[in-house]
Amino acid sequence: MKNAYDAIVIGGGTTGTGVIRDLVLRGFTNSVLLERDDLGAGTSGGCHSALHGGSRYAVSDIQTARECLQENQVYRKIVPQVVDPTDAIWVAKTDEQLEFAKQWMHNADEIGLPYKIIPVEEAIECEPLLAKDIRFALRTIDTGFDPFRLCISQAYDAKIKGAQIRTHHEVIGALMEDNRVVGLRVLDKTENRIYEIYAKIVINAAGPWCSQITEMAGFAIPMKPNKGSTGIYSMRPTTTLIGILRTPADGDGLVSQGYQNTALLGTSSVDVDDPDDAEPGMDEIKIMEDSVAEIIPELREARMIRMCTGVRPLYTTGEETGRDISRGMYLLDHAKMEGVEGIITITGGKYATARLMAEEAVNLASEKLVGKVLPCTSDQELIYGATTKDEAEKDALEIHEKYHISRYAAHKFTARYGKFAKKILEQYPSQAYIIDDAVQMIGSEVCYAFVEEDVKNFKDLRRRTRIGMGQEQGTFSIYKAGAIAVEELGKTVAEAESYMLGYVQERWKGIYFAAQYGDQLPLSELMQTMYISMGSYDVLRAE
């Protein structure tokens, strides 16, 4: 094959970006990642933002628990800046939950999952909004994390080492020779052109869309897409992740997000036919809120600013549905299974196990490429921007003193970018001021994202910087970003307008559902008033 890449990776979520990074670390630098939208725009961006440590599956799926435990520790080591080290408190309130806790601790001891039983009084002292009638509590290592920055960090770690990352490039067909996939037909959505690309192997990491990819090669795989709805609150009722000790069910816990001062309620489990047609379910949110309110009663008083949903890439050859399907990973060698060479699929799993999934996929890919499994180092080598907490705090102090940015904002900034934080401000010092108070985003990030991180619009910018993901949902910050795009990046007013409208319309998809609760209506009305009166735009539609 002329001009063939070593490998093409399909999918820019956590698994796909983990695969491209692992390929490069093993020497396959002539590789390319294709993503039809943006990094983290699919399942990964719609997750609960919980970096599982094994607790949720310690009883129901002990192998997945082992994998989550292992990978939780790996991520804390190789990319600490994206981990929000809140840890977790898991509680029991009923007799049934107390019995579950006994089995949980037995299994945790078996797999080495660290935990500490704490007095109920201590738990309530640490988390005053916990119900006063909880009967048991323990601390363990589940925590929150930033799913967008993890995808981005993995992708750009691969890019700076030689790989290509192509966002907004959609696979629309497979190029076949006999029973082998030799390449792909791709739509470049930015330039509106179709091109062909060839590779020695294609690694399908497209999540719930995996079967759509294999169907281009002539066969389907038994994917069962499963939707999980999440509610986002405008405050942090707790400082730690809170979970209920019971068999996984709707509304098991609350993830407290320190990096944007919000909390995520999750999550549900509903089978869907089309992963592109999944909306948050109001009934699902109600069930989950009622569940978590049993241990955090004042949760119902919190303002829910939006709802979102992600679609799990569940795989089964049986008749199971929903929560009965294992959350384990599946590596599919299609040469053995369907007799089609040149393509493998990695699917299933959890966000927390994505690096391990990538390792397994690249083990098989390297066997096919060079006849043996090359050593994997993705669990050892620090990732793009990795820095220790002490180093980040030192950099934050320097940024605070040099640019007169609050220490709080500077700390959030170094937590987002790690060792690249100071470089960003050195490159764009005139924008070194806060443009989003809720997430403490700095204007320099707009320039850096467009120039260095392949951002095409403000929806992409959101995933890089979290602009508008806090309490104001872009009502004020997006205007400031538009001004920077025009004044500093040379964008036209029409381009900036397009970015702003696209962003607000995307935000409205989640706000629309939360507005039905009522608490979010005043801010929604303010946003609409601003866009009508200041820009003559009426964009807040439920389309």
pLDDT per position as a tens digit, 202-247: 999 999 999 999 999 999 999 999 999 999 998 889 999 999 999 9
What is the reported pLDDT for 543?
43
Q: Residue 459 sits in which domain range? A: 428-533
Q: Taking residues 325-330, what's their average pLDDT? A: 86
What is the reported pLDDT for 542? 43
pLDDT at 384 over 90: no
Q: Yes or no: say if 40 and 66 are a contact pair by the CB < 8 Å rule.
A: no
- In-domain check, residue 72: no
Given this model, what pLDDT does residue 137 score?
A: 98
Tell me how far apart the alpha carbons of residues 302 and 179 are, in angstroms, rounded to a whole number. 56
pLDDT at 253 over 70: yes
Instruction: Give the integer Cα–Cα distance in Å for 318 and 486.
Output: 54
Percentage with pLDDT > 90 across the chain = 74
Judge if 449 and 523 occupy the same domain.
Answer: yes
Same domain, 133 and 234: yes
Angstrom distance (rounded) from CA 63 to CA 101: 18
- 153 and 253, same domain (yes or no): no
Judged against a pLDDT cut of 90, whether residue 325 lies above it is answered with no
For the cut 90, the answer to whether the pLDDT of residue 320 exceeds it is no
- Which pLDDT belongs to residue 518? 61
**318: in domain:** no
- pLDDT of 532 higher than 70: no
Confidence of residue 541 (pLDDT cuts 50, 70, 90): very low
Q: Which amino acid is at 531?
A: Y
Give the per-residue pLDDT at 388. Answer: 80
Rounded mean pLDDT of 98-123?
A: 98
Per-residue pLDDT tens digits for 52-102? 999 999 999 999 999 999 999 999 999 988 888 889 999 999 999 999 999
Mean pLDDT value across residues 266-285: 90
Whether 524 and 470 share a structural domain: yes
pLDDT band at 537 (very low <50, low <70, confident <90, very high): low
* 140 and 163 together in one domain: no
Distance CA 536, CA 2 (A): 53
Q: d(Cα 102, Cα 136) in Å, to the nearest integer?
A: 11
User: Among residues 261, 284, 311, which one ends one of the domains?
Assistant: 311
- Looking at residues 373-389, what average pLDDT do you find? 92
Please give the average per-residue pLDDT across 283-292, as a whole number: 93
Mean pLDDT across 189-200? 97
The tokens describing 328, both together, are 């384990």
Q: Which of 349, 346, 358 is nearest to 383 (CA)?
A: 358
Rg over CA atoms, the chain: 23
Note whether 204 and 163 are same-domain residues.
yes
pLDDT of residue 63: 94
Same domain, 106 and 156: no
Residue 209 is predicted with a pLDDT of 97
**pLDDT of 539:** 47
Domain boundary among 335, 352, 370: 370
Binned at pLDDT 50, 70 and 90, residue 460 comes out as very high
Inform me whether the pLDDT recorded for 516 exceeds 80: no
Residue 448 clears pLDDT 60, i.e. is over it:
yes
Same domain for 365 and 302?
no
Average pLDDT of the chain is: 92
Q: What pLDDT sits at residue 3?
A: 65
pLDDT for res 536? 58
Domain count for the chain = 3
Do 127 and 157 fall within a single domain? no
CATH number at residue 12: 3.50.50.60
